């Protein structure tokens, strides 16, 4: 029988060199996304123009929003003589024509391999009064898009954040590589408590903008340059995503001696508890009744619907902190993660996954970093699951194996609205519970014989 | 203050006087206790009982799959009994009315001017559109008051449309609970349906033909029982009424033995079939592993046939083998837990056995609409004084049908079986299986449920949807034993595992450990700030 | 072939008397729901105990919450002698044992047919100091649960609302027969604008309560008695649901001379615009940037995803104002309502539906009040649709006809989380767009041949 | 200030000097204009162009379904070209690699120490796991710099694994756009694949064997063309490369005629096959109803066969009949609208015809990576001066293959066809179909797109995903002509209706009328308060 992904054999053979159906992409696109979370910032890709084109496309496909960015448009000559001249022209043109307040340059595998010294190149630029150019190094052959996201944040901090003798009392929140809807929800929770914070980066207001008939190249959202400066005087940083936000957290310590606390993405009950308690401890503000009520509502839902999740085996693929967060909530719902896979090569993922699984006594879950979807598919062919959670690229596996599929994480290229909606916080967990519950119950209904279709569930 | 007193403590005056006799503490197994039951509920107490219509249409008649059951009255009653009871049915020919709700949807003018014409027209439309095997009519509260003669309408329609048409005056206010409705439904089925095909009784000595009475196939329980019985070699003539059919009921008189699963709702029919057709009945219980084994052996004993007996043991062994591993797993997980059960008729008794199979002790139990015999055993029936509410429910008497009379069981054999505690023409009631300080409440209410939860702190509490969410808000896992929480079957061997699994999942779902926000128990100032620090 | 609802013939014959698979239920359950939206109120069903049992069950199945209510437990004797004695006992016991601040009595077809005079009966009750008993008449043989909801509101107003010479400046909001999640969203919008309002009734906080281990029979939510009193001095009432809220709007006019404006449920763009503009006009408060931004985001989503909705034929069943609201948003998305059916007998529904359809040039839609799901199914057998929207009872039709199905409205008995989530407001419309979009796109994916399964959509 | 000046107004200095020659206003149809194209983009301008790799792997090689195409480089490039271009493929035997992405996922150590070993191992693994018909290798930016000899690796692998293995040095920085990649891919296919089966040319006089060149089967366009062509009686030997296969390409030399759909990406192969095999090519256009008719008639004319000609007219009539009603409907809805089209190679030209079929006038058009001939017609080719970037792209020359040489078309017939404007060995370019104040922009950028939208206010603007959301934020409907907004096919008769329908839905979706909140145009104080008042 001819089926989807028919060339994937069940037998798993070791692959040392061939990557098939990756579960990660390259650093620059993460850097571009981070830069889009800064107010009046133009992300700039220093390399061939294909990179910039691909990254803008990737982001537009997920967010259904314009993803502005420029490129140094390397030609063969630039490879020989270095990209300095292209950067210089580009920066001049960008300020002339698109007039951002800041240009955030990230490198590519090309400019990295050439060895362009961005520090030097930027020092030599003529930058208009009041404007800024900063950069980060994002070699595509190291880490993944998640690494690039952190590196770009570190670039901003390195250039802009100012060490301060006295704390400005604000809490820095690094939201991690999440959706505008998540950042919005993180801010709502902080606002509910009256916490003074700086969210960095912040794509809520830049990558989920209204349509009005009047296109704004720089919408009113995004972390302001001033806020990034002030991060250097923050009281403390909550660095969400124990892998994602590590690089900028180390940078802000190094540059401005601001301490950070690493927290998991606040997905599910305990991780959200941790986030709120940390906010509360640092700010001295109480966790509000409103939030406590949402927590109780979430638990109410979890208790009410537990039978539909209990012992269900789940495969989760995506970015490392997202997979960890989703798995944590699945465990809280009584589900059993069977596969936890990320493409990002970072063994810390495996360590954290194992700790979490151990806590819930789950011993037969395969947790792997530096993995790909071809492997996930092969694993699923050998031992099936009840639910698959991941980005759009998993849909073929879901179809091939006829497994219920919940879209969560990056990228979701084949559905709408997701980027406006949170997965973080208690409200986000309610949404996740609904998505997973519906997927499982829809399947139960689909597979039910007519005599077994239930009117009440 | 013992538990019973603690529960009653809040009540004063008339309520105290009423409720005190409905609550019984069972100190020691075997010591007989009397309980007040099958009497009017106290107005204003938030009870779980339904009405006569619910017992008649909702429980007994609803499951008939080939019959159009028209609710005669305003829309609500027909609406609420539509697809909500999980009495599964599967019509091989697709003629399945279980998925439908039929009603005359009475409007104000019909109330004022009478609904007989509308009912007649509704029957006409039902017959024309659906061509069912039979039409049944169940009336709701206002019908009795406005004086619609539904029997007359049914008789006319039967003649005009050439189809069996039976009316049930099961207005909601009749009796004190669903129980009245069971009785009314039983009467109607006995009068018009059961045995109406009048086919001859097979005369060969050895036939193993059974009816299952009081099995409504919730979550497929009946199917599981049929599977086991057929595997052993029995023929199931009719099930009353789970996945049942008018058609099958007309032949029900040809069975050799009636198995009574839910004593409360169907004992009337068992008795009447004994009188009319001389069909013996035994009280069975397919809920619980040991109970299923006991039941199967007793049925085999009844027929006293070596092949059947041998096959019975083989099937028991096979089924036990299949569930052995999971049985052990869940027994380990559940042993030592305690439970409460508040449900309708017989389940509060049946499920105690199933729980015991997994080491779970039932410390609180109650019936919603049972009679004293369901608690104390049928021996108390002669002592039960009927009150006005029950007296109003029609009692019918049947006469032996000499032509269709079965050969009697040998008297000596009967006595022998009874001596072996086979519940032949008998039900022992729930109390005999309880004791040890456990408590029983008849017609339990919201307040009492809260109270016993606080006193006994059970690990899980089985009740219905109206209680469920209250119980869980109190932090106690709660599963519905009316609807099996949309799972099942729970009957027989495999069903016991499904039940145990659901119970285990409900008790162990991680959310229970997270109910209290951590900042309520430890100050956020002492809270850990993540496991690691990048600083 | 044996299929779901196999006894439903394609040929439609006229039915004058037989109701099959109703799309409505009886008044009292609506009355009970309305009373559950009042703080420390015990709904009381004056009739046979089966009614109360069914209604509590219905509400618990939809909300997955306790639905408290008591009953007069009529026996045959009560039918002969009247229900006064039962009511008297009940009221005493309720105050003794459950201690509400107010008992809200509604009648049933039984007590209505008997002719119990509730005004007289209540006058004769001994009511503890500071406690209240009110009532409404909800004959089950008139209107539907929606009527009962309005009648119960009118009962509260009739007993409690106090006419005032001077306005207290508050805007009364009658939310209609909607979910707690909707009421929460309505309040959020009003709060965002700083409008002083009284929401009546308000089940946000009573029918979506947290789990804490400590059951509260009377949770902190619900409209307070004092607020209902103050409704009589309100500046104006926004009566949402042009059919649902008509009765209480007329009552508040009659009793307290407070004017009301009838508005459709704020489902979709224009209806939400109307709601906010009315709030703004009445309160003098501006519509906030936050809300305007949400509006723009919603429109952005609608534009981005229009191709998946465009020209899709949709069948909608449910309560009259809900069907009108859902249809309005479907039309705004470019969909074509093909059937709009409600069980509630009210020809105003048909009139409003036709006006709306005309505005969008849709001429082949069958809009019917006093209809049932059997008819809907027959219609769909004759002319199919691309999407079905309604409560749980539609699921069998969806399975029988293999039509994508979105659950919205009442009751939803076979899924979780829905009652916490809004359909009203711009955020609610985003959720609806996601639900409908996913249903349509999931179907496209399901039906796609392998070669046509799209990675980007 | 005319439109062109308005667009250029913001530019100063070098940018102005560069861009002014890329923007052309076409006053009058038929007046030749020169446009600068196929030159380096200005750094910092937000352009829509991709890179050489995108043209080679993304466009030309990616659609081959039976071939494992390994991207040699870091993970990104392989990832972005995975499942995103909608070049549909259907392998009857399930051997379909279109759903897969293969890469060497180069890491830092590979960059430092070279990636040849890794590539070799990757090929080994690909062959062992997937057993493809062929392996192709496409290198990305760093590969050229670190000096991996991918041709050597390919040659070794070919020998070692006994499978065709072809390397393409299509590093992203080569050339100025995707265009360089097309050329590199074309060269590789010509050198190693096309005709490699070396099967004899059928000698019978009358065979109607076609290749379709430059058709990538986006949204199934190629399938629709094949359906029509087969219906008429043609045989399609190979499609380059939509739903294409290595296998079919090896036999492509046996076709009698090459149809060139996308001139830009594939004209190299058309020319080389003419030289090597003497296969004539004609520029066709299956986009648009009238264009499809014209194309079908010209192909029939080329073969000059009465049966084919007759069948052509029958098929045209049939297809027209099928779409007549909808064509009329959408023409009524769309007539008078204006459009802009900014897309890659030939579509900005092709779609103008399709739009005209429905009465929509294209007022702005631009190519992303076209050459002068795509604008001005092939007659300007001799005048085109190659700049350094283009010179770096390998030019290969092929020699006539005497054994596989086709019989030449009669010279007189050739001239006759050319006289009838059949584009035999010719493409007229886009300009000849424009004029009347419309504007053309080469290598359009974000700023210019915004600007022309403001000036021309078109009713719809066709572009790609990078522009789409910006355009719509400005209130202008925008559909993607790279991916057809996940719809299609748009080709031929039925496709035109699908296109018209999508266009109509995009223009008419009600949301456009609601963009401005009503309180922005009328004070809420004047706002109507509902239609009715209960007061």
- pLDDT 10s digits, C200-253: 999 999 999 999 999 999 999 999 999 999 999 999 999 999 999 999 999 999
The residue among A286, A331, A342, A339 whose CA lies nearest residue A309 is: A331
In angstroms, the CA A206 to CA A380 distance is 38
Instruction: Please answer yes or no on whether D517 and C295 come within 8 Å at the CB atom.
Output: yes
In angstroms, the CA B301 to CA B45 distance is 46
| B484, part of any domain | no
Low-confidence ranges of chain B (pLDDT < 50): 526-532
In angstroms, the CA B527 to CA A238 distance is 14
Predicted complex ipTM exceeds 0.90? yes
Mean pLDDT of D447-468: 97
The residue among C156, C141, C124, C123 whose CA lies nearest residue C36 is: C156
Instruction: Please answer yes or no on whether A259 and B506 come within 8 Å at the CB atom.
Output: no
> In which band, very low, low, confident or very high, does the pLDDT at D344 lie, cut at 50, 70 and 90?
confident
Q: pLDDT tens-digit profile of D102-147?
A: 999 999 999 999 999 999 999 999 999 999 999 999 999 999 999 9
pLDDT reported for residue A3: 74
> Active site includes D72?
no
pLDDT reported for residue A284: 96
Mean of all residue pLDDT scores within chain B: 95
* Contact of B441 with B33, CB cutoff 8 Å: no
Q: Is the pLDDT of residue D500 over 90?
A: yes
Instruction: Please answer yes or no on whether D511 and C249 come within 8 Å at the CB atom.
Output: no
Chains B and A physically touch (3 or more Cβ atom pairs below 8 Å): yes
- Which two three-digit tokens encode residue C406? 């979105």
Out of D19, D22, D49, D51, pick the active-site residue: D51
In chain D, the percentage of residues whose pLDDT exceeds 70 is: 97
Q: Which A positions 403-422 lie with beta carbon below 8 A of chain D? A: 413
Contacts of B411 (CB under 8 A, 6+ apart): none
Q: pLDDT tens-digit profile of C121-137?
A: 999 999 999 999 999 99
> Active site includes B85?
yes
Structure-model confidence comparison of residues B3 and A365, the more confident one: A365
**C22 shares contact with chain B (CB less than 8 Å):** yes
| B89, part of any domain | yes
pLDDT reported for residue B531: 44
Q: What is the CATH number of the domain that holds B84?
A: 3.40.50.1980
Is the peptide bond prior to B37 cis by the omega test (within 30 degrees of 0)?
no
Out of D52, D54, D165, D248, pick the active-site residue: D54
In total, how many domains does chain B have? 1
In angstroms, the CA A350 to CA B476 distance is 36
pLDDT reported for residue C1: 47
Chains B and D physically touch (3 or more Cβ atom pairs below 8 Å): no
| B404, part of any domain | no
Look at phi and psi of residue C5 and say left if phi exceeds 0, alpha if psi is from -120 to 50, else beta.
Answer: left
**Closest chain B residue to the Cα of C394, Cα to Cα:** B99
Structure-model confidence comparison of residues C151 and B522, the more confident one: C151
Most C-contacting residue of D510, D521, D526 (CB-CB within 10 A), to test interface? D510
Q: pLDDT tens-digit profile of C268-326?
A: 999 999 999 999 999 999 999 999 999 999 999 999 999 999 999 999 999 999 999 99
The residue among C322, C332, C344, C289 whose CA lies nearest residue C422 is: C322
| D69, part of any domain | yes
**Closest chain C residue to the Cα of D82, Cα to Cα:** C455
- Chain B residues within an 8 Å CB radius of A292: 517
- What interhelical angle do C289-304 and C180-193 show, nearest 10? 130
| D79, part of any domain | yes
Q: How far is CA A195 from CA A226, A228, B380, D445, in A?
A: 18, 17, 70, 43
- Provide the sign of the torsion angle of the four alpha carbons C96, C98, C102, C108, taken in this order: negative
The residue among D52, D251, D222 whose CA lies nearest residue D133 is: D251
In angstroms, the CA D366 to CA D369 distance is 9
In angstroms, the CA D149 to CA A345 distance is 27
Out of B85, B209, B251, B263, pick the active-site residue: B85
The residue among A15, A18, A38, A176 whose CA lies nearest residue A100 is: A38
Most B-contacting residue of C19, C52, C60, C218 (CB-CB within 10 A), to test interface? C19
In angstroms, the CA B166 to CA B150 distance is 9
Q: Is the pLDDT of residue C370 over 70?
A: yes
Q: Is the pLDDT of residue D525 over 80?
A: no
In angstroms, the CA B423 to CA B439 distance is 25
Instruction: Please answer yes or no on whether C76 and B389 come within 8 Å at the CB atom.
Output: yes
Q: pLDDT tens-digit profile of B56-75?
A: 999 999 999 999 999 999 99
Q: Which strands, in side-by-side order, build the sheet including D257-260?
A: D235-241, D209-215, D257-260, D280-283
**C220 shares contact with chain B (CB less than 8 Å):** no
pLDDT reported for residue A1: 47
**D176 shares contact with chain A (CB less than 8 Å):** yes
Q: pLDDT tens-digit profile of D214-257?
A: 999 999 999 999 999 999 999 999 999 999 999 999 999 999 99
- Which two three-digit tokens encode residue B390? 């029950």
| B208, part of any domain | no
pLDDT reported for residue B527: 42
Q: Residue B109 belongs to what domain range?
A: 52-192
**B114 shares contact with chain C (CB less than 8 Å):** no
pLDDT reported for residue D32: 81
Q: Is the pLDDT of residue C192 over 90?
A: yes
Q: Which B positions 9-38 lie with beta carbon below 8 A of chain C? A: 10-12, 14-15
- Phi first, then psi, for residue D147 (nearest 5°) are 80, 20
DSSP 8-state symbol, B54? I
* Contact of C418 with C410, CB cutoff 8 Å: no
In angstroms, the CA B440 to CA B453 distance is 13
Q: Is the pLDDT of residue D30 over 80?
A: no
- Chain D residues within an 8 Å CB radius of C245: 534
Of A147-156, B2-11, B441-450, C335-344, minimum mean pLDDT range: B2-11
Instruction: Please answer yes or no on whether D51 and A49 come within 8 Å at the CB atom.
Output: yes
Number of A/B CB contacts below 8 angstroms equals 121
Q: Which D positions 309-348 lie with beta carbon below 8 A of chain A? A: none
Most C-contacting residue of B38, B54, B75, B469 (CB-CB within 10 A), to test interface? B75
Structure-model confidence comparison of residues D8 and D436, the more confident one: D8
| D413, part of any domain | no
Q: Is the pLDDT of residue D401 over 80?
A: yes
In angstroms, the CA B479 to CA B34 distance is 29
In angstroms, the CA B229 to CA B296 distance is 8
pLDDT reported for residue D31: 75
- Phi first, then psi, for residue A127 (nearest 5°) are -110, 130
CB atoms within 10 A of CB B129: 20
Parallel/antiparallel/unpaired status of strands B102-103 and C19-20: antiparallel
- Phi first, then psi, for residue B421 (nearest 5°) are 65, 15
- Provide the sign of the torsion angle of the four alpha carbons C421, C424, C425, C428, taken in this order: positive
The residue among D115, D110, D111, D162 whose CA lies nearest residue D135 is: D162
Q: Is the pTM of this model over 0.90?
A: yes
Q: Is the pLDDT of residue A154 over 80?
A: yes
- What interhelical angle do D411-419 and D289-303 show, nearest 10? 160
Out of B86, B120, B182, B372, pick the active-site residue: B182
> Active site includes D182?
yes
**D363 shares contact with chain A (CB less than 8 Å):** no
**D461 shares contact with chain A (CB less than 8 Å):** no
Of C211, C294, C295, the CB nearest to A299: C211
Q: Is the pLDDT of residue C2 over 60?
A: no
Mean pLDDT of D308-323: 98
**D119 shares contact with chain C (CB less than 8 Å):** no
**A269 shares contact with chain B (CB less than 8 Å):** yes
Q: Is the pLDDT of residue A61 over 70?
A: yes
The residue among D486, D482, D496, D484 whose CA lies nearest residue D262 is: D482
- Phi first, then psi, for residue B257 (nearest 5°) are -150, 140
**Closest chain A residue to the Cα of C450, Cα to Cα:** A4
- Which two three-digit tokens encode residue B95? 């003629």
Mean pLDDT of A138-159: 98
> In which band, very low, low, confident or very high, does the pLDDT at C3 lie, cut at 50, 70 and 90?
confident
> Active site includes B446?
no
In chain A, the percentage of residues whose pLDDT exceeds 90 is: 99
Q: Could you give the domains of chain C?
A: 27-160 (3.40.50.1980), 171-208+218-287 (3.40.50.1980), 290-449 (3.40.50.1980)
| H/E run at residue C174 | strand C171-174
| D440, part of any domain | no
CB atoms within 10 A of CB B242: 27
Q: Is the pLDDT of residue A396 over 80?
A: yes
Chains C and B physically touch (3 or more Cβ atom pairs below 8 Å): yes
Most A-contacting residue of C293, C437, C448 (CB-CB within 10 A), to test interface? C293
Q: pLDDT tens-digit profile of C15-30?
A: 999 999 999 999 999 9
Half-sphere exposure of B272 (CA within 13 A, CB side): 20
pLDDT reported for residue D203: 77
Out of B51, B122, B262, B300, pick the active-site residue: B51
- Chain C residues within an 8 Å CB radius of B77: 26, 50, 54
In angstroms, the CA A338 to CA A379 distance is 10
Mean of all residue pLDDT scores within chain C: 97
- Which two three-digit tokens encode residue B496? 């016991």
């Amino acid at each position: 029988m001819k089926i989807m992904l028919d060339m994937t054999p069940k037998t798993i053979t070791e692959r040392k060199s061939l990557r098939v159906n990756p579960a990660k992409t390259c650093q620059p696109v993460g850097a571009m996304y981070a830069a889009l979370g800064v107010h009046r910032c133009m992300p700039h890709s220093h390399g061939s123009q294909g990179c910039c084109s691909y990254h803008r496309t990737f982001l537009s496909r997920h967010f259904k929003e314009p993803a502005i960015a420029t490129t140094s448009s390397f030609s063969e000559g630039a490879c020989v003589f270095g990209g300095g001249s292209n950067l210089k022209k580009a920066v001049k043109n960008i300020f002339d024509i698109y007039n951002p307040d800041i240009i955030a340059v990230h490198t590519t595998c090309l400019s990295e391999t050439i060895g362009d010294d961005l520090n030097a190149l930027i020092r030599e630029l003529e930058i208009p009064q009041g404007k800024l150019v900063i950069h980060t190094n994002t070699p595509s052959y190291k880490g993944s898009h998640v690494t690039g996201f952190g590196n770009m944040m570190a670039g901003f901090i390195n250039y802009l954040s100012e060490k301060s003798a006295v704390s400005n009392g604000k809490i820095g929140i690094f939201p991690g590589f999440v959706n505008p809807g998540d950042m919005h929800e993180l801010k709502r929770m902080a606002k509910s408590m009256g916490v003074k914070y700086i969210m960095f980066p912040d794509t809520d207001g830049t990558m989920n903008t209204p349509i009005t008939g009047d296109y704004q190249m720089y919408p009113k959202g995004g972390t302001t340059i001033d806020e990034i400066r002030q991060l250097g005087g923050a009281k403390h940083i909550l660095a969400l995503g124990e892998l994602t936000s590590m690089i900028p957290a180390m940078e802000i310590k190094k540059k401005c001696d601001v301490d950070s606390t690493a927290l998991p993405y606040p997905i599910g009950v305990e991780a959200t508890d941790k986030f709120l308690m940390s906010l509360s401890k640092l700010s001295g503000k109480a966790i509000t009744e409103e939030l406590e009520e949402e927590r109780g509502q979430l638990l109410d839902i979890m208790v009410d619907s537990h039978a539909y999740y209990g012992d269900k085996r789940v495969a989760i693929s995506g970015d490392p902190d997202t997979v960890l967060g989703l798995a944590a909530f699945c465990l809280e719902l009584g589900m059993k993660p069977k596969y936890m896979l990320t493409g990002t090569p970072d063994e810390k993922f495996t360590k954290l996954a194992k700790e979490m699984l151990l806590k819930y006594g789950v011993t037969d879950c395969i947790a792997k970093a530096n993995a790909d979807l071809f492997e996930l598919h092969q694993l699923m062919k050998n031992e099936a699951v009840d639910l698959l959670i991941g980005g759009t690229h998993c849909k073929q596996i879901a179809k091939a194996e006829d497994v219920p599929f919940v879209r969560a994480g990056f990228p979701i290229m084949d559905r709408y609205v997701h980027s406006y909606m949170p997965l973080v916080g208690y409200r986000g967990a309610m949404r996740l519970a609904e998505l997973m519950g519906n997927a499982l119950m829809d399947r139960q209904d689909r597979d039910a014989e007519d005599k077994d279709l239930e009117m009440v569930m | 203050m013992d538990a019973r007193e603690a529960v009653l403590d809040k009540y004063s005056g008339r309520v105290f006087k009423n409720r005190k006799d409905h609550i019984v503490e069972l100190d020691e197994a075997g010591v007989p206790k009397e309980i007040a039951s099958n009497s009017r509920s106290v107005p204003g107490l938030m009870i779980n009982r339904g009405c006569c219509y619910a017992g008649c249409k909702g429980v007994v008649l609803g499951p008939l799959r080939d019959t159009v059951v028209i609710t005669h009255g305003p829309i609500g009653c027909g609406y609420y009994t539509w697809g909500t009871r999980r009495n599964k049915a599967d019509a091989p020919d697709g003629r399945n009315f279980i998925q439908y709700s039929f009603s005359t949807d009475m409007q104000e003018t019909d109330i004022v001017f009478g609904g007989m014409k509308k009912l007649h027209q509704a029957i006409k439309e039902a017959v024309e559109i659906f061509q069912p095997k039979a039409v049944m009519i169940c009336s709701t509260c206002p019908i009795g008051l406005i004086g619609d003669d539904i029997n007359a309408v049914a008789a006319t329609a039967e003649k005009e449309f050439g189809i069996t048409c039976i009316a049930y005056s099961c207005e909601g206010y009749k009796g004190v609970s669903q129980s009245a409705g069971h009785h009314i439904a039983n009467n109607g089925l006995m009068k018009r349906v059961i045995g109406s095909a009048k086919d001859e009784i097979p005369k060969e000595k050895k036939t193993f033909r059974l009816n299952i009475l009081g099995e409504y196939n919730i979550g497929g329980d009946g199917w599981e029982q049929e599977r086991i019985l057929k595997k052993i070699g029995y023929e199931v003539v009719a099930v009353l009424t789970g996945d049942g059919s008018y058609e099958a009921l007309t032949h029900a008189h040809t069975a050799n033995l009636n198995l009574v699963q839910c004593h409360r709702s169907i004992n009337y029919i068992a008795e009447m079939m004994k009188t009319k057709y001389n069909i013996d009945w035994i009280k069975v219980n397919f809920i619980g592993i040991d109970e299923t084994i006991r039941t199967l052996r007793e049925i085999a004993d009844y027929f006293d046939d070596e092949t059947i007996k041998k096959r019975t043991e083989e099937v028991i062994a096979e089924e036990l083998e299949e569930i052995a591993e999971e049985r052990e797993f869940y027994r380990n997980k559940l042993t030592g837990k305690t439970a409460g059960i508040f449900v309708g008729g017989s389940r509060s008794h049946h499920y105690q056995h199933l729980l015991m199979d997994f080491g779970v002790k039932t410390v609180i139990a109650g019936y919603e609409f049972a009679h004293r015999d369901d608690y104390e055993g049928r021996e108390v029936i002669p002592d039960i004084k009927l009150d006005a509410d029950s007296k109003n429910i029609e009692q019918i008497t049947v006469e032996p049908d000499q032509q269709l009379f079965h050969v009697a069981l040998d008297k000596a054999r009967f006595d022998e079986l009874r001596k072996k505690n086979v519940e032949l023409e008998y039900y022992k009631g729930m109390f005999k299986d309880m004791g040890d300080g456990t408590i029983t409440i008849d017609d339990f209410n919201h307040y009492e449920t809260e109270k016993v939860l606080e006193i006994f702190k059970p690990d899980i509490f089985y009740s219905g949807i109206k209680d469920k969410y209250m119980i869980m808000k109190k932090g106690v896992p709660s599963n519905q034993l009316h609807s099996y929480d949309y799972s099942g079957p729970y009957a027989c061997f495999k069903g016991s595992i499904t039940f145990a699994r659901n119970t285990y999942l409900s008790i162990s779902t991680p959310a229970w450990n997270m109910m209290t926000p951590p900042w309520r128990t430890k100050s956020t100032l002492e809270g850990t700030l993540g496991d690691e620090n990048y600083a």
